[in-house]
């Protein structure tokens, strides 16, 4: 009988999932990927198997996937039919926030769920959707083991001084501190370092995860030392629609002189800023690279400039640099942006191999480069699936 594990990534308007099959030696094999997007609006259900065959491509009536609960029910019913005689062993979830205490993936029970709900104020735009999917699945299938894997967990190794804002101490104790995000992506990249070059395992590395959300992480000996996102995924770099680092006095000004309250500021900073805000054209890097509009060029220039500045800051935190790794949609696919970033960081001794960069080869620096530079496709789902399998196996051994 085939055995399956499923990874779920529940966002505000979409639920994505990846199905893994265990082969006879309990290795994880990707079987299919799917999603329902447009939840509550114009839901669309798509699934593609590993061979690229489209298994499902259906517009759903809007009342059918009206919320996360209904959407999970649709996905679960389809899954049961899809795996037929097979067995669904467990489900793993990407959960944005594990707070101060969840430094490892965890099997979800009532206490864990209650703890994670208390973190909603720290990640109000993400955590409620992650948890809604968990709760919905618990209602449908209370005995199905579910595991939470956190985007913050990888950064728990950072020192207290790295995490602290210069605010009165009691705010830190309340949880107002730097957490960092994209941790599952950084964990994946760290896990493949030995396959790239064995010396990287103990090296000083900056990983640039450049997607719609974007951050940099300084990693030494496989551990997060510092990262550009902080209390929230707003901080740090210029992103698709998020502003990145901003002088807090700008927010005070906007409150005083534009009458903006917390919700209006939240919308401005999360959804109207970044590449979209500066270009006035798009949050999609492909559209900006293709555009002749001077504002598109300015948006790209700012994106690259901020990355260059933050690379400098992380090099200082690391006390040097041995390797730079690009990942995420932009990092993996845009040779132009990579070239611009490397140009900006040439002072570090980066020498780009032009041809390798244009081909998006794995190693894109020349042999004379002081800093080896790489392009690695990230795989957050695989990280979750591996944790899920470990926890599931341990739990089953304990029961037997
Ligand atoms: P998310 O953070 O939503 O997971 P992705 O990692 O998928 O995002 O990255 C999305 C970004 O990657 C978009 O800005 C998109 O324009 C960009 N991107 C994808 N392919 C290319 C490309 N060939 N050139 C430039 N940008 C690209």
Query: What distance in angstroms lies between residue 283's CA and the mean position of ligand 1's atoms?
Result: 9
For residue 18, the tally of other CB atoms under 10 A from its CB is 22
Hey, what are 100's tokens? 């101060």
Cα 58 off chain centre by: 27
What CATH class is the domain 3-150? alpha beta
Query: What distance in angstroms lies between residue 226's CA and the mean position of ligand 1's atoms?
Result: 24
Hey, what are 200's tokens? 């990287």
Q: What is the pLDDT of residue 61?
A: 87
Residues forming CATH 3.30.420.40 domain(s) in the chain: 3-150, 197-380
Q: With contact defined as beta carbons under 8 Å apart, do 301 and 267 qualify?
A: no
Residues known to be catalytic: 151
Q: What is the dihedral of CA 375, 379, 382, 386, to 10 degrees?
A: 60
> Quick one: 233 exposed, middle or buried, by C-beta within 10 A (0-12, 13-18, 19+)?
buried
Q: What is the pLDDT of residue 385?
A: 98
User: Is ligand 1 within 6 A of the CB of residue 372?
Assistant: no
240 Cβ neighbours under 8 A, 6+ residues apart: 211, 212, 213, 214, 274, 275, 276, 283, 284, 285
User: Is ligand 1 within 6 A of the CB of residue 285?
Assistant: yes
Query: What distance in angstroms lies between residue 333's CA and the mean position of ligand 1's atoms?
Result: 7
Q: With contact defined as beta carbons under 8 Å apart, do 68 and 62 qualify?
A: no
What SS3 state is found at 8?
Answer: strand
Separation between Cα atoms, residue 172 and residue 178, nearest integer Å: 9
User: Is ligand 1 within 6 A of the CB of residue 240?
Assistant: yes
151 Cβ neighbours under 8 A, 6+ residues apart: 94, 95, 96, 97, 98, 181, 182, 183, 184
Hey, what are 314's tokens? 């992380």
Residue written as tokens 């933050």? 310
390 Cβ neighbours under 8 A, 6+ residues apart: none
What SS3 state is found at 336?
Answer: helix
The second-level CATH assignment, the architecture, of 197-380 is 2-Layer Sandwich (3.30)
User: Is ligand 1 within 6 A of the CB of residue 376?
Assistant: no
The ligand 1 atom nearest the CA atom of 283: 14
Going across the sheet that includes 106-107, the strands are 54-59, 44-49, 28-37, 14-22, 3-10, 87-95, 146-150, 106-107
Hey, what are 398's tokens? 């304990």
Residue written as tokens 């968990």? 134
Residue among 165, 167, 177, 307 nearest 236 (CA): 307
Query: What distance in angstroms lies between residue 105's CA and the mean position of ligand 1's atoms?
Result: 27
Nearest CA to ligand 1 atom 19: 329
Q: What is the pLDDT of residue 36?
A: 96
Separation between Cα atoms, residue 108 and residue 112, nearest integer Å: 6
pTM listed for this prediction: 0.96
User: Is ligand 1 within 6 A of the CB of residue 284?
Assistant: yes
Using DSSP bridges, classify how beta strands 323-327 and 106-107 pair: parallel, antiparallel or unpaired.
unpaired
User: Is ligand 1 within 6 A of the CB of residue 360?
Assistant: no
The ligand 1 atom nearest the CA atom of 209: 6
Looking at the chain, list the stretches that DSSP marks H as alpha helix, in order from N- to C-terminal side: 68-83, 110-118, 127-140, 160-163, 169-174, 183-196, 248-257, 262-271, 274-279, 285-290, 294-318, 328-333, 335-344, 354-358, 380-399
Query: What distance in angstroms lies between residue 62's CA and the mean position of ligand 1's atoms?
Result: 28
Give the bridge partners for 210, in sequence order: 214
Hey, what are 392's tokens? 């599931």
Nearest CA to ligand 1 atom 4: 211
pLDDT average per 10 residues of sequence, the chain (400 residues): 95 96 93 95 94 95 88 95 94 97 96 96 93 96 97 97 98 96 98 95 97 97 98 97 97 98 97 98 97 98 98 98 98 98 97 96 97 98 98 88
Residue among 167, 176, 35, 161 nearest 100 (CA): 176
Nearest CA to ligand 1 atom 7: 329
């Amino acid at each position: 009988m085939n055995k399956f594990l499923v990874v779920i990534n529940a966002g505000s308007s979409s639920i994505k999932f990846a199905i893994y099959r265990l082969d006879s030696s309990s290795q994880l094999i990707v079987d299919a990927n799917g999603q329902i997007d447009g939840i509550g609006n114009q839901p669309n259900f798509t699934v593609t198997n590993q061979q690229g065959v489209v298994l499902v491509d259906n517009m759903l009536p809007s009342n059918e996937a009206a919320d996360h609960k209904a959407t999970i029910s649709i996905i679960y019913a389809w899954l049961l039919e899809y795996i037929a005689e097979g067995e669904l062993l467990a489900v793993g979830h990407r959960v944005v926030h594990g707070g101060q205490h969840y430094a490892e993936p965890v099997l979800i029970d009532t206490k864990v769920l209650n703890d994670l709900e208390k973190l909603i104020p720290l990640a109000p735009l993400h955590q409620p959707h992650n948890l809604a999917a968990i709760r919905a699945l618990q209602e449908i299938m209370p005995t199905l083991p579910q595991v939470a894997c956190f985007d913050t967990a990888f950064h728990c190794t950072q020192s207290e001084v790295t995490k602290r804002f210069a605010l009165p101490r009691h705010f830190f104790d309340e949880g107002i501190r730097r957490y960092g995000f994209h941790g599952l992506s950084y964990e994946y990249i760290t896990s493949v370092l030995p396959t790239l070059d064995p010396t990287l395992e103990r090296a000083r590395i900056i990983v640039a995860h450049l997607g719609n959300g974007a951050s940099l992480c300084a990693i030494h000996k496989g551990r997060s030392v510092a990262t550009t996102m902080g209390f929230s995924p707003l901080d740090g770099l210029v992103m698709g629609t998020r502003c990145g680092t901003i002088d807090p006095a700008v927010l005070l000004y906007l409150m005083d002189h534009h009458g903006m309250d917390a919700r209006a500021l939240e919308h401005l900073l999360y959804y109207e800023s970044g590449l979209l805000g500066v270009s006035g054209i798009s949050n999609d890097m492909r559209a900006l690279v293709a555009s002749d509009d001077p504002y598109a060029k300015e948006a790209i220039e700012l994106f690259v400039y901020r990355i260059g500045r933050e690379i400098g800051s992380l090099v200082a935190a690391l006390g040097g640099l041995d390797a730079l790794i690009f990942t995420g949609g932009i990092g993996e696919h845009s040779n132009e942006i990579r070239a611009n970033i490397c140009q900006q960081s040439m002072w570090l001794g980066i020498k780009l191999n032009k041809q390798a960069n244009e081909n998006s080869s794995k190693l894109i620096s020349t042999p004379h480069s002081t800093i080896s530079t790489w392009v690695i496709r990230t795989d957050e789902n695989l990280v979750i699936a591996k944790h899920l399998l470990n926890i599931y196996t341990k739990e089953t051994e304990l029961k037997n």
